[in-house]
Chains A and B, each alone.
Chain A
Amino acid sequence: MSEFKQPVVIFSDVIKHFGEVQALRGISFELFPGEALAIVGHNGAGKTTSIRLLLGLLKPDSGTVNVFGRDPYPEDEPNRVLRRHIGVVQEEDRLYLAMSAEENLLFWLSLYGVPANRQKERASSVLSMVGLEQRVRRKVGTFSKGMRRRLAIARALAVEPQVLILDEPTVGLDPEARVEVRKLLEGLVHQKGLTLLITSHDLNEVEKLCEKLLLIDSGQVLLAGSLAELRAGQQPELSIKLVFKNGNTFPDWLFQELTALPFVARLALEGNLLTVILNQGGEEPIGQIIARLTGAGIGIAAVEPRQLTLEEIYLQTTENHKRIVHEKK
């Protein structure tokens, strides 16, 4: 792979309306070859609209959508070729239930221009990959939801895409099927090194599959970056387990003194557990807090710096955004 990589997907200040509703309000992001990006957000945040724009199903009102260096919307010959490099799994499976698993794949491969002599081999290979090799000739109508989703993934992979787009791949599945599909995707992403764009509500799934995240709400980007960057950008949190001697309690003056420290954002005391949210990381603030606690005669049983989970980052960011929007009103 060359040192300098061109982005596979570029969204630049994309705006899209549906009548009066503004679905996207200036979304920008880039996806480079080999990267896995997750777009997360509430229902109606603009995730599926972004996917539809990327697939050239919708036309942006303004801004630029660029896939492999081209506007994907026009139905011209170069875009016909471009579509062959994109595998799609939509929120619903959208398979032909009266056809067998193999027939579904052969039809799809023919649409993508795969030569007839290579179709059967390709279909059988992806069916094995998703664990459906025993059900090649079974009608899809008889499949469970999990099996249908695996077949939908197989259909997307059968065309040997350079970019795989998954719109809510585990939504509507029971916990067992969800784990099954997630494991399959994890294997594919990590072993095959596919360029992946996924929309999901399941932040667990996102954490396992993607290294980059785009959090959108009401058609706006609230947060974007690699998971490591996003975590580093969050306020560090400290849990301190206290030991009170001789029936002492936590003195009010100490609580006020700690709150007044410039590197302390928030302080919460619950029983003998003190939670400190810091404005900055590093060892010095932790050292200072511990010194003040021990100086006041409070023993320390344990100190645990805690990293925020993706879910907490998500909730914190969306709540902050809601508060800002509310204050503006």
Chain B
Amino acid sequence: MKKNETNPMLVLFRKELSIVRQPTYWMSCLFMGGLVVWIYVFSPIESIQTMTQASPQIASYMATSYAQMFAILQPVWLFLLTWMFLATEAFTLEKTDGRLEMLLTTPLRLREVWAGKCLALLVLIYPYVLLVTGLVFSLQNAIWPTRLGIAPGINSLVLLISLFVGPLLAFGVGALLGLLTLRVNNANTIQSLTFILTFAVGFGGNYGLIALQKQAMNNLSDLLTWPVFWVYLALALALWLVVWLLLRGLNKDHVVQNMA
């Protein structure tokens, strides 16, 4: 490649970013972000307020645990949900419509197609997750002390997991699903799997955390501890190891045969 030429992967990356021009992207971002802000900032106010009169200690614990529950689940869920919307066009339709095969006739390499698309989705999703997370924490910090007289208890662990480890884990899941879309015979299967996984994380995870919160309320123990953090990190790294191994074994002949 000549020095003044743009890398084809970068060209594909830029093209994938053009999805921001679609109103559906902004509408779904606004809807999902608004929903999360409502659930984690405004919705808990009433239940914490009720508890404040009965037991200020439990009310304070509830406020802290809401922030922790958010950190454990929401960035991952929000990332996966947005990934699911964007990956339909970027991976599934690209493969089922045959454009992926067409891209492979250009100077692009197969791994570059995967990487270009994953990076573009990361650039589209990660700032959005950061923005919603920042908004939730800022609003909790601004509204709860005045309305409830309680601070949400956002510490470094909450920030680390919600801003870095959670998105790293979710990006690993998305990258793995993108890779599987390239490899498998029926790309729609992976699309369905993404859908199931996203909703399992969203609803199942939320249900599990509420159950844990009720248990932990007895001894007022934290939901988010360093062991939880290390498990999260180990899970994210293990996922990326799987991605790396699959990527090493990615075979263009196999991928194209599955497109035919």
Q: Return the contact of A58 from the options B18, B102, B257 (Cβ within 8 A).
A: B257
B99 proximal to A (CB < 8 A): yes
Q: Which of A59, A77, A81, A112 contacts B106 (CB 8 A)?
A: A112
Q: Is the CB of A94 within 8 A of B107?
A: no
- Report B-chain residues with C-beta under 8 Å of the C-beta of A95: 99
Assess whether A111 is in contact with B102, with CB atoms less than 8 Å apart. no
Contact between chains at B1 and A80 (CB < 8 Å): yes
Can you list, as one digit per residue, whether each of B97-136 has a CB less than 8 Å from chain A (1) or not (0)? 1110111111111110000000000000000000000000
Chain A residue contacts of B11, Cβ below 8 A: 107, 110-111
Q: Which residue of A has the minimal Cβ distance to B112?
A: A75
B2 interfacial by beta-carbon distance below 8 Å = yes
Q: Does A68 contact B (CB under 8 A)?
A: no
Chain A interface bracket (under 10, 10 to 19, 20 to 34, 35 or more) = 20 to 34
A75 touches B102 (CB 8 A): no
Say if the beta carbon of A18 comes within 8 Å of chain B: yes
A57–B6 contact, CB under 8 A? no
CB of A259 within 8 A of chain B?
no
Residue-wise interface mask of B (1-38) relative to A, using a CB-CB cutoff of 8 A (1 in contact, 0 not): 11011101001101100100010000000000000000
In the assembled complex, the Cα of A84 lies from the Cα of B1 at a distance in Å of 11
Report Cα–Cα, A117/B101, bound state, in Å.
Answer: 28
Measured between beta carbons, the chain B residues less than 8 angstroms from A86 are 105
A81 to B1, CA, bound (A): 8
Cα of A133 to Cα of B260 in the assembled complex, Å: 34
Q: Does A88 contact B (CB under 8 A)?
A: yes
B256 at the interface (CB under 8 A from A): yes
Contact B102 A88 (CB under 8 A): yes
* Chain A CB within 8 A of B214 CB: no
B residues less than 8 Å from A80 (CB atoms): 1, 8, 107, 109
Collect the chain A residues with CB atoms within 8 Å of residue B98's CB: 90, 92, 94
Contact (Cβ within 8 A) B104 A113: no
Q: Which residue of A lies closest to B22 (CB)?
A: A98
Total interface residues in chain B, CB < 8 Å:
31
Judging by beta carbons under 8 Å apart, are A94 and B97 in contact? Answer: yes
List B residues 78-107 near A (Cβ within 8 Å).
Answer: 97-99, 101-107
Flag whether A27 is at the interface (Cβ < 8 A).
Answer: no
Q: Provided the pairs A57-B101, A94-B98 are in contact, do residues A111 and B106 lie with their beta carbons within 8 angstroms?
A: yes
In the complex, which of the residues A48, A88, A92, A107 contacts B105, with contact meaning CB atoms closer than 8 Å?
Answer: A88
Chain A interface helix/strand/loop/mixed: loop
Query: By the criterion CB–CB under 8 Å, are B106 and A94 in contact?
Result: no
User: Are A73 and B252 closer than 8 Å at their CB atoms?
Assistant: yes
A48, A57, A77, A110: the one contacting B104 at CB < 8 Å is A57
B106 & A108 in contact (Cβ 8 Å cutoff): yes
Q: Quick one: closest A residue to B4, CB to CB?
A: A115
Q: Is A241 located at the chain interface by the 8 A CB criterion?
A: no
Q: Which of B14, B99, B107, B111 contacts A84 (CB 8 A)?
A: B107
> Hey, which chain B residues are within 8 Å of A99, CB to CB?
18
Q: Flag whether A255 is at the interface (Cβ < 8 A).
A: no
Q: Report if A96 contacts B (CB, 8 A).
A: yes
Q: Is the CB of B256 within 8 A of A57?
A: yes
Give the distance in Å from the alpha carbon of A207 to the alpha carbon of B14 in the complex: 43
For residue B6, which residues in chain A have a CB less than 8 angstroms away from its CB? 110, 113
CA distance A241 to B22 in the complex (A): 71
14 additional A-B pairs beyond A18-B260, A59-B253, A94-B101, beta carbons within 8 Å, are: A18-B257, A57-B105, A57-B253, A88-B105, A90-B98, A92-B97, A94-B97, A107-B11, A110-B8, A111-B11, A111-B108, A112-B107, A113-B6, A113-B107
Interface, chain B (partner A; CB < 8 A): 1-2, 4-6, 8, 11-12, 14-15, 18, 22, 97-99, 101-111, 252-253, 256-257, 260
Which A residues are closer than 8 A to B by beta carbons?
18, 48, 52, 55, 57-59, 73, 75, 77, 80-81, 83-84, 86, 88, 90, 92, 94-96, 98-99, 107-108, 110-113, 115
Ordered nearest first, which 10 A-B pairs have the shortest CB separation? A75-B109, A110-B11, A94-B102, A113-B5, A80-B107, A59-B253, A57-B256, A111-B106, A88-B105, A94-B99
